[in-house]
Structure 1
């Protein structure tokens, strides 16, 4: 997606559209500060002393948009969790035209999903890739640590925001579990249905290892949810499950590689002995074999492939992403050769400390030391900008202190990912209040689907076109990714939340549907774990059909409960 912004857009119509976009946002911001309508005062006062515990409950008791506008202004429980107050915009500006309000919020939801994925793809993952090269990590360690962190960044930061910023731990739990369920059931089921007739099989040991570790993590999480509280020590133990997985994977791959090398050496010696060729070097004027002509032709075709003209969709994405492209570009240091810009690097080092200060102060608004923080951070940024100007070249990225630059880029990409995830969570919670739907349901569906859409497209494509190797990579990602999100994506917020309550314990939000989601998720994993070995590890349509049926059954049950078609929580009265 980074290529969408590679060429500047100088069209006058595009500039006009962007200016109108910003003007519209500014108008919405200031229009939402108008005074409430006087007709709603008496009804609002009668509800102020009511026993409604949630914002959606109070809104459901009101009839007209004037009363709802006054209610969201006066109730702290309806306050915004992000930078934009969506409830005030919807009820106070679009109160008389809710269809237009729904359309605006839906478009903004799509924009936030796009920006979250684009930030991870264009800034977060490249910085992780460069860090892995500088730190000289092996491909295996880089894959299970940095690559998993890059792919799971949206889920991780959305979960952290829901626990720490929005105080909606059930929202974070449902979003992570919903994403893990979607990937391990729906995505795997789709792959099996598409390539079920090709007789494609995967490695037995890798499959069993990933599924068993995921089941262990889910059992521990189920224990935490059942108890309803977690201490800092138990949260750290839960977080260590992924460390055990990384260690077990590294040892198994090391032993497998050692065994493979030994077998190759033995086979090579036997072949050379039969051919009468010495073990050292080449004989006489023999040269190493050249690369196949087919490979050379492929490279020539790749080099000679003409550049395609940008499509309407790419231009649309450029228009959507342009308003936030410059703020990210001017605050995230990019040290890649093809993206290097000395002015942007100098400006990013100067502005980055101020952005970090803004993020910190937004969590502690009203502090009298905010001005001091901004002055100190501005001074630090000025010093860093001068140093960056004196120690960098125009033609290439800095070769000295490259690790410092990479760590700076990683930190700022994390900051932007967190900011966008915070706004996304805030919007989903506001939509839950608008529609009268529990935010946890939106986390289980909308947020989980949005964050997992990339996994669906990438894994299905790799499995469909990659043969046995592609299927192996896709299936490994479908289980290793949810394992990372489940352990790290929930373990880190649990550690942060329990550390804030130390020496006490962190109380898990009560949500009866969490154990239900866990149960269906584990049923899907057990189905694949039992049927796949019986099918000799072939991606059979029976496996895919069962996984899709399990996921659709769970989704239908949850939607029936949301819309009141099924109420299994109602107590049974004995006659």
Structure 2
């Protein structure tokens, strides 16, 4: 088994790699800093070495200081999420909208391709930077984000502004998403992904794009047929027909004074929706925004240097005036990052004055941005003969910048201004990739420092952090009177992120292996995440069909209720197939276990299983190393089910008389070892998970231990929680009498 290379004991005897960074807890506290510095696994692929800072600056010799360090890292993680959202919304989306127009993409094609990529950039790049050991985080993040968006965000929109859903796009997106989830479940069940299976996710999304194109073509054909002017021979009737055409004035959004407005993504999105509404012939309610438009345009200074200072100011006057207290705090907190982003990333924004043209700033960006990109791509050491590439790129950027400065006007963007959108797109992509890499590194550090599983980190911190920006923007769009637009992104967007995130990651991983396949790490939460995402989609599909595609507030109740079950559901494990309970009967010795309330201070643990009157009875006996007495716990007898079931509902006396306990046999060869898991609901409604490794004898052969550890890994049961059971100086087995109720 290749789970570890060089193994030694941890937590009483379970084996791990001594070159694994999690092993730091087995090193004396005063030596952990040096050990972390020397261990390759602790040197994360990130700009900041979080493990070294955590164990050297916030030393574990002082627990309170170490906890403070973890809290600092969590706050830094939240700040990274803020940077991710800001880059995607303020820099990525406006440029992508311009690129879509330059490429002459229709609104529907742009929506499911380039704009979907802009909205899902944090999820996509987070999945791409994940290596094989981080697959669980990546998988649960993508699925967990899908649950969050389709349930929490969709429900929030319905609460803010109930509305009628367009049936055809919803049915299309929902059916494709359901099919995608089913296909992901089928592919991941054997934990092996072949190259063709990874490619199938990308092909599946291409099929979705073709479906969107076909539906758009049909709709356009129908619209043209309905829009034909009737052949009226009477001139008076024709004049009357033309006079009654809709001639309502065109409604425009306020023009922002800067391209970096906090509402950049919102303005671009609403502008696209207003254009689509006019194309459909729908009326658009005019908002009272004339004052804002006038004020925004007169705010900009006339002097070129003052304009430069104005454009790199991280907090615009209009944003500050219109923000509440919480938003003002966010604006202040993100301002250091905004200054750097505004200097590095050019933005072409159709809703800003001069489309975001800032003469001096754009010229400076031509010099700075390519040079900084060289350092991020780690090619800055390359030379062309005696000339370093850094000097070459900076010189070229400087020359182009000077030429641009001398040949353009301050008040009018040049004809080729939209080229800056492509430069901004690539710059924003590098920033998002870099920040996503830091996010994964800090999550790894928090994981092995706190003991939180990768799956839980993915479905909570990472999924929520990447999705909270969508929640705010989509709810804001709904409040502005466009709930359908906010809701339409709740199905197509997560499907794009999931299919492309998993497809690209698994395809690249499989391609890099000699046999063109990759093994994925599974988790007990993975089946649960998929199941609840499927339930969320099916519940939305059935409910909206029943109520005539009207998203009422009751729909929000259903959606949110489904999503809340994910974190409160039983952990999912893989029961043993074709299990025969009669072969498991008899006496077993507990080799290792997760500490539990039944076996406190317990050595020499023994388990006796028997069937009496077709009921299963289980007795746990152990020696209390504090008192020296033998203690026993027994379960109520339960009927033995027919067939080959390896799961049983048991109740243990006397501590858990009223608690249902589900005992699952994960694996056994009946003669040498068995791995058992127990799930129980505590009195305060918490879910408790215990596990045991059993042996038929007090001595456990290494081969069977390896098999047992492999079973625990496949069920993502945390090995750090286990303790080895001491079987030295045990009483004679005859002293462990059968339990009497």
Do these two structures clear the TM 0.5 threshold for a shared fold by scoring above it? yes
Deviations for 1:219-244, whole angstroms, at most 9, x for unmatched residues?
A: 22222212323333332221021211
How has the CA–CA distance of structure 1 residues 538 and 379 changed in structure 2, closer, same or farther, with 3 Å as cutoff? same
Partner of 1:567: 689
Residue matched to 1:420: 435
* 1:147 corresponds to: 115
CA distance in 1, matches of 2:555, 2:688: 29
**Counterpart among 75, 93, 100 of residue 132 in structure 1:** 100
Out of 345, 348, 361, which is 1:344 matched to? 361
User: Quick one: distance in 1 between partners of 2:146 and 2:250?
Assistant: 42
Map residues 384-399 of structure 1 onto 2, 5 A cutoff: 384-392=397-405, 393-395=408-410, 399=414
Confirm or deny that 1:439 pairs with 2:454.
Answer: yes
Q: Give the direction of change, closer, same or farther, for the CA distance of 1:317–1:559 in structure 2 (3 Å limit).
A: farther
Q: Which residue of 2 aligns with 1:298?
A: 288
In 1, Cα distance between equivalents of 2:518 and 2:527? 18
Asked if the contact 1:335–1:398 (Cα under 8 Å) also holds between the matched residues in 2, the reply is no
Contact 2:88 2:121 in 1 (8 A): yes
1:294-334 residue CA offsets vs partner (Å, 9 max, x unmatched): 97883545446795637655554444334333433333234
**Equivalent pair of 2:447/2:454 in contact (CA under 8 Å):** yes
Where do 5+ consecutive residues of structure 2 fail to align? 1-7, 252-283, 297-317, 573-678, 697-737
Aligned to 1:170: 136
Question: Residues 499 and 342 from structure 1, CA distance in 2 versus in 1: closer, same or farther, beyond 3 angstroms?
Answer: farther
CA distance in 1, matches of 2:561, 2:21: 33
Structure 1 residues 274 and 409: CA distance shift in structure 2, 3 A: same
Q: Give secondary structure in 2 for the equivalent of 1:230.
A: strand
SS in structure 2 at match of 1:518: helix
More RCO (CA 8 Å, sep 6+): 1
> 1:287 and 1:161, CA in 2 relative to 1: closer, same or farther beyond 3 A?
closer
Equivalent of 1:269 in 212, 219, 230: 230
Structure of higher CA gyration radius: 2
Q: Is the 8 A contact 2:355 2:413 kept in 1?
A: no
Structure-2 change in CA distance of 1:114 and 1:520 (3 Å): same
Question: Contact 1:432–1:442 (CA<8 Å) still a contact in 2?
Answer: yes
CA, structure 1 residues 535+420, in 2 after alignment: closer, same or farther (shift >3 Å)? same
- Find the residue that maps to 1:277 and give its secondary structure: helix
> 2:23 corresponds to which residue?
58
Q: Structure 1 residues 549, 74: closer, same or farther in 2, change over 3 A? A: same
Q: Indicate if the aligned counterparts of 1:186 and 1:548 stay in contact, CA closer than 8 A.
A: yes
What is the match of residue 718 of structure 2?
none
Which residue matches 2:341? Answer: 328
Deviation for aligned residue 1:485: 0.8
Task: Please give the per-residue CA displacement for 1:352-380, whole angstroms capped at 9, x wherever unaligned.
Answer: 33333323339xxxxxx945489224313
**1:408-437, Cα deviation, whole Å (9 max, x unpaired):** 221111001101111111111111122111
Q: Residue 443 of structure 1: CA displacement?
A: 1.4
Q: What does the per-residue CA deviation read over 1:24-49, in whole Å, with 9 as the maximum and x for residues that have no partner? A: xxxxxxxxxxxxxxxxxxxxx998x9
Distance 1:430 1:529, change over 3 A: same
Deviations 1:472-496 (A, max 9, x none): 3233211111111111222222232
Partner of 1:535: 547
Q: Distance in 1 between matches of 2:695 and 2:9?
A: 35
Residue of structure 2 in register with 1:19 after alignment: none
Deviates more, 1:126-135 or 1:315-324: 315-324
Deviation string 1:486-536 (CA, Å, 9 cap, x unpaired) is 112222222322332365222222334322211221122122222321222
1:56–1:434 CA contact under 8 A, matched in 2 = no
Over 3 Å counting, the alpha-carbon distance change for 1:502 and 1:340 in structure 2 is: farther
1:157 CA displacement: 0.7
Q: Which residue of 2 aligns with 1:88?
A: 52
How far the C-alpha of 1:383 sits from its partner, in A, is 1.6
Matching residue within 206, 209, 212 for 1:246: 209
> For 2:195, which of 218, 221, 232 is the aligned residue?
232
The 1:169–1:46 alpha-carbon spacing in structure 2 relative to 1, beyond 3 Å, is: closer
Is 1:114 matched with 2:82?
yes
Match of 2:564 in 1: 552
Counterpart Cα distance in 1 of 2:553 and 2:525: 30
Q: Which residue of 2 aligns with 1:9?
A: none
**CA pair 400-499 structure 1, distance change in 2 beyond 3 A:** farther
Q: Please point out which of 352, 357, 362 is paired with 2:374.
A: 357
Q: 2:527 maps to which residue? A: 515
Which whole-Å deviations, capped at 9, do the CAs of 1:200-237 have from their partners, x for residues lacking one?
43222222111110112112222221232333333222
Residues 474/56 of structure 1: CA separation in 2 closer, same or farther (3 Å cut)? same
Change (3 A) 1:281 1:212: closer
Moved more, 301-310 or 381-390: 301-310
Unaligned runs of 5+ in 1: 1-44, 363-368
2:659 maps to what in 1?
Answer: none
| Range that drifts further, 500-509 or 442-451 | 500-509
Deviation, structure 1 residue 194:
5.5
Secondary structure at the residue paired with 2:378? helix
1:203 corresponds, among 153, 166, 170, to 166
Tell me how far apart the structure 2 counterparts of residues 112 and 213 of structure 1 sit (CA, whole Å): 32
Tell whether 2:391 aligns with 1:378: yes
Q: Structure 1 residues 299, 183: closer, same or farther in 2, change over 3 A?
A: closer
Q: Sort the Cα spacing of 1:290 and 1:522 in 2 relative to 1 into closer, same or farther, 3 A.
A: closer
CA contact (8 A) 1:162 1:169 kept: yes
State the match for 1:455 in structure 2. Answer: 470
Coordinate RMSD, CA, aligned: 3.8
What is the rounded CA distance, in whole Å, between the counterparts of 2:695 and 2:324 in structure 1? 62
SS at match of 1:557: coil
Question: Could you say which residue in structure 1 is the equivalent of 2:445?
Answer: 430
SS in 2 for 1:567: strand
